[in-house]
Amino acid sequence: MSNTRQIYGFHAVTSRIRKNPNSIKEIFLDATRHDKRIRDLKKLAENKNIRLIFCDEERLVTMSGSTRHQGVVASIDTNCSYINIEDVLESLTEPALFLVLDGVKDPHNLGACFRVADAFGVHAIIAPRNRAVGLTAAVHKIASGAVDTIPYISVTNLARALRELKHHGVWIIGTTVETNDELQFAKIDGPVAWVLGAEGEGMRHLTRETCDQLISIPMLGSVECLNVSVSAGICLFETFRQRKSRKL
């Protein structure tokens, strides 16, 4: 049975048209907008034979659940983008890089994580099906198209997924303040999965126990913890830096 949800905003919808047009059932556009941006999107959708429906502001707000839809909402079939860990690993010609998010419930944080994951070459984001926000319309909007470049793998058992990664030779690094091993002294080599928990709560106990290594981000100020997307960006940049330095 088809599973439908909505995405909204120009970046999210345009990216979906370009990268996965077959997943789009129809696009709803603000009937009062006739500017270049809406005309360009309309032309792009028509070239892919995607059905367009013109409607009023009220319907767009109802569909998207937000007033920040920018006049465009797309109805998509999520079954068209299913992927699992083995699918990702089998497609790689370079050391794997995963971002694992344990318990991130804020769509803005998940959307921002997608953006940093896209920036630093992450091959997939993995998150639990429960206790997590999932791919909502708001996540698509904040991610600005990165949801269509980074596979999102939703799993029923996160610890089992981490063990699967380990079975394939991926080194699991968890982030926590409760360790003296700091990021700048860590050797990050080979296939890696970074595991981050939600702000305040951190990783769950079983997730933490499944990690091969625990690393802390050095903090010089009075703030005790960073936003999860900021932490992800720091860890992923350090991974990128070390990998690049070894190639020089």
Residue partners of 55: CB distance under 8 A and separation at least 6: 28, 29, 30, 31
pTM equals 0.76
DSSP 3-state percent helix, strand, coil across the chain (nearest 5): 40, 25, 35
The reply to whether 58 and 95 lie within a common domain is no
Q: Tell me how many domains the chain contains.
A: 2
The reply to whether 97 and 68 lie within a common domain is no
Output the pLDDT for position 73. 95
Name the burial class of residue 74, with classes exposed (0-12), middle (13-18) and buried (19+) by CB atoms within 10 angstroms of its CB: buried
pLDDT at 232 over 90: yes
pLDDT at 80 over 80: no
pLDDT at 144 over 70: yes
The reply to whether 206 and 242 lie within a common domain is yes
Domain containing 16 equals 4-81
From 81, 105, 122, the end of a domain falls on 81
pLDDT in tens, 107-128: 999 999 999 999 999 999 999 9
The reply to whether 134 and 54 lie within a common domain is no
